[in-house]
């Protein structure tokens, strides 16, 4: 994600890169102010428990889970069969042999199949950073305008 942010800043400020460093910094600050404001507004409109992209991913995993067969080994360990493939889901450890459950920190389609069979809420197995609350908290701080540079009060040593 960090490289995506850097690439977005680079493409948004191509012309500013040829200006003095103070102008460049002001362009970057103004861009961050606008992005923070716009993202905050988007997050405030969100009414789902997870962010829209996370909800979409979880729903996709649910749809994929509908064709899977679940065979319990014990209360935490399950064999999940998808035609010619078998995956092992451990709910206690939040793992699946497909590795997506532990890497994404969101239930993969195999884990969702298990949770569906057990009537377990899949949201409880999603990392906190997928929540709409975390999204809103990311953009709750304000990037303040700095005003006209000619009106700044500078220390005497400048």
Write the pLDDT tens digit of every residue in 49-107. 999 999 999 999 999 999 999 999 999 999 999 988 999 999 999 999 999 999 999 99
Banded model confidence at residue 142, pLDDT cuts 50, 70, 90:
very high
Identify the helix (H) or strand (E) that includes residue 40: helix 21-45
pLDDT exceeds 70 at position 157: yes
Residue 132, classed as helix, strand or coil, is helix
For residues 59, 63, 68, 71, the Cα torsion angle rounded to the nearest 10 degrees is 40
pLDDT tens column, 117-138: 999 999 999 999 999 999 999 9
Q: Between 109-118 and 52-65, two packed helices, what is the crossing angle to 10 degrees?
A: 70
Which among 120, 132, 105 has a CA at the least distance from the CA of 65?
A: 120
Per-residue b/e over 7-46, b at no fewer than 16 CB within 10 Å? Answer: eeeeeebeebeeeeeeeeebbeeebeeebbeeebeebeeb
Enumerate residues 6+ apart whose C-beta is below 8 A from 116.
62, 65
Q: Provide the strand spans (E) within the chain.
A: 69-72, 77-82, 85-90, 95-96
pLDDT score recorded for residue 90: 99
Q: Quote the pLDDT of residue 113.
A: 99
pLDDT at 12: 64
């Amino acid at each position: 994600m960090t490289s995506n942010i850097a690439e977005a800043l680079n493409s948004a400020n191509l012309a500013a890169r040829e200006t003095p460093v103070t102008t460049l910094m002001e362009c970057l600050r103004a861009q961050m102010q606008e992005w923070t404001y716009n993202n905050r507004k988007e997050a405030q409109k969100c009414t789902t428990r997870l962010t829209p992209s996370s909800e979409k991913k979880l729903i996709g995993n649910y749809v994929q889970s509908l064709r899977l067969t679940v065979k319990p080994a014990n209360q935490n360990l399950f064999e999940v069969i998808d035609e010619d493939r078998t995956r092992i889901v451990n709910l206690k450890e939040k793992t699946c042999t497909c590795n997506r459950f532990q890497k994404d920190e969101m239930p993969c389609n195999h884990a969702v199949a298990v949770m569906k069979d057990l009537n377990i809420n899949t949201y409880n197995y999603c990392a906190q950073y997928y929540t709409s609350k975390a999204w809103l908290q990311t953009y709750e701080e304000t990037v303040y305008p700095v005003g006209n540079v000619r009106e700044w009060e500078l220390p005497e040593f400048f």
